[in-house]
């Protein structure tokens, strides 16, 4: 009777008669593309074991077979809603390896594109969070409002979600004519709209009673577990790479970092919404300071090569710090590319947060982590 050769979740285990093991996922809509093996005692979760990997596509392995330019479109696939931010650290890394300075105008357009993308991602996440809490209006509103920015990004990049807009050396093409007017009109309307979410969602007593004090993460634990992004900032740690390690034009902009002290699911779900409001401010500032004309891309040599070097660059994405580690060994292809993604880093606190929660409250805690399964699996 060997019990160890069977995969986890299929093993015959001796457990307390009160304890039941439950597989949530990978097909269950409440888990995303992953499985959570939860042990429950009555209605309460006593143990949770996340089992990701159902959408693992080997992005890092693929990157070793393609040259620096061919890697652009596939490295953004882990989070297609946030594709500019996912590609950002890779482009910054390749620029440092090749010693390229990006034109000033491209820096600002990059900031605008990545802030628009952040809003698109957060709206999508908010829609899912709403529908899993049984709030179908909160699904419809963000899903509709994000079309504004998707449409804007389509005008800039030519694609609705998978933009492949950033390239080492700048951006792929300049923005369309009348860009600033179009953008500012949308930003103003968008800001007005998302402020209305407070009345229907964030000030809603049903939401508050369900998420307040659910899945509490203390400040010490948030730091010890190495969480990042909204999960970290909801626990009272003031850490945002746009301010702490400014890249491109972020250093010249005035950015407010949103933090909350509670560390519960309510705080974690509120931070991304506050971030969206801040994004609107950042976009307005960037439009104001942006050079009105000039080149947006430094032309690279075909098949650029770098020496024996390595680089680690990181940006603040919609889900937290996103790092890209590139090892170069004097070849046209990178020797190793590693993406250190926010979702994967936040996964570690899931067992801690779910312990002691009611099973019915699992989606409220789980989705508040701002977790994107496809990004965690890469």
Binding site for another protein (CB under 8 A): 7-8, 51-53, 56, 58, 60-62, 65, 98-101, 103, 170, 172-174, 223-226, 232, 237, 239, 241, 244-245, 295-301, 310, 312, 314, 321, 323, 325, 327, 335-336, 338, 340, 344-345, 347-348, 377
Q: Other C-beta atoms within 10 Å of 136: how many?
A: 11
* CB nearer another protein, residue 241 or residue 364: 241
Q: CB of residue 150 vs another protein: minimum separation in angstroms?
A: 20
Q: CB of residue 138 vs another protein: minimum separation in angstroms?
A: 30
Q: CB of residue 198 vs another protein: minimum separation in angstroms?
A: 29
Contacts made by residues 219-228, CB under 8 angstroms, sequence distance 24+? 219/261, 219/263, 221/349, 221/352, 222/263, 222/349, 225/348, 225/349, 225/352, 226/345, 226/348, 227/320, 227/345, 227/346, 227/348, 227/349, 228/319, 228/320, 228/321, 228/342, 228/345, 228/346
Give the closest residue to 312 by CA, choosing from 320, 303, 321, 304: 321
Q: Do 111 and 286 form a contact (C-beta atoms < 8 A)? A: yes
* CB nearer another protein, residue 61 or residue 192: 61
Q: Other C-beta atoms within 10 Å of 3: how many?
A: 10
- Note the residue count of the chain: 378
Q: CB of residue 188 vs another protein: minimum separation in angstroms?
A: 29
The one-character DSSP state at 162 is -
* CB nearer another protein, residue 172 or residue 284: 172
Q: CB of residue 222 vs another protein: minimum separation in angstroms?
A: 8
* CB nearer another protein, residue 62 or residue 359: 62
* Phi, psi (deg, nearest 5) at residue 270: -85, -30
Q: CB of residue 192 vs another protein: minimum separation in angstroms?
A: 33
* CB nearer another protein, residue 34 or residue 283: 34
H helices of 173-264, in order, are 179-197, 205-211, 219-224, 230-234, 241-244
Q: CB of residue 158 vs another protein: minimum separation in angstroms?
A: 9
* CB nearer another protein, residue 62 or residue 182: 62
In degrees, rounded to 5, the angle at the alpha carbon of residue 48 between the alpha carbons of residues 43 and 53 is 135
* CB nearer another protein, residue 246 or residue 358: 246
């Amino acid at each position: 009777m060997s019990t160890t050769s069977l995969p986890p979740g299929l093993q015959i285990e001796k457990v307390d008669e009160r304890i039941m093991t439950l597989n949530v996922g990978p097909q269950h809509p409440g888990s995303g593309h992953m499985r959570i093996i939860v042990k429950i005692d009555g209605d309460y979760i006593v143990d949770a074991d996340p089992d990701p990997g159902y959408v693992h596509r080997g992005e890092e392995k693929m990157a070793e077979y393609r040259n620096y330019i061919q890697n652009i479109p596939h490295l953004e696939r882990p989070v297609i809603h946030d594709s500019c931010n996912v590609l950002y650290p890779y482009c910054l890394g390749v620029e440092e390896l090749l010693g390229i300075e990006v034109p000033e105008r491209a820096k600002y357009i990059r900031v605008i594109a990545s802030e628009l993308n952040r809003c698109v991602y957060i709206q999508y996440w908010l829609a899912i969070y709403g529908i899993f809490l049984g709030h179908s209006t909160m699904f419809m509103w963000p899903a509709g409002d994000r079309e504004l920015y998707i449409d804007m990004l389509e005008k800039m990049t030519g694609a609705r979600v998978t933009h492949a807009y950033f390239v080492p050396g700048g951006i792929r093409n300049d923005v369309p004519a009348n860009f600033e007017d179009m953008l500012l009109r949308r930003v103003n309307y968008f800001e007005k709209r998302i402020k209305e979410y407070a009345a229907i969602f964030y000030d809603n007593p049903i939401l508050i009673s369900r998420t307040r004090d659910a899945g509490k993460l203390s400040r010490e634990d948030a730091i010890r577990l190495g969480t990042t992004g909204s999960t970290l900032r909801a626990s009272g740690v003031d850490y945002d790479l746009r301010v702490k390690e400014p890249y491109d034009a972020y250093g010249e902009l005035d950015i407010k970092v949103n933090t909350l002290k509670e560390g519960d699911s309510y705080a974690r779900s509120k931070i991304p919404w506050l971030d969206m409001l801040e994004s609107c401010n950042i976009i307005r500032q960037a439009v104001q300071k942006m050079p009105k004309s000039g080149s947006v891309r430094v032309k690279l040599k075909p098949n650029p090569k770098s020496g024996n070097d390595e680089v680690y660059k990181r940006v603040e994405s919609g889900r937290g710090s996103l790092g890209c580690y590139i090892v170069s060994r004097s070849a046209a292809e990178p020797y190793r590319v590693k993406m250190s993604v926010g979702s994967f880093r936040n996964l570690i606190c899931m067992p801690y947060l779910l312990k002691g929660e009611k099973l019915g409250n699992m989606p409220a805690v789980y989705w508040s982590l701002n977790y994107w399964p496809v990004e965690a699996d890469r």
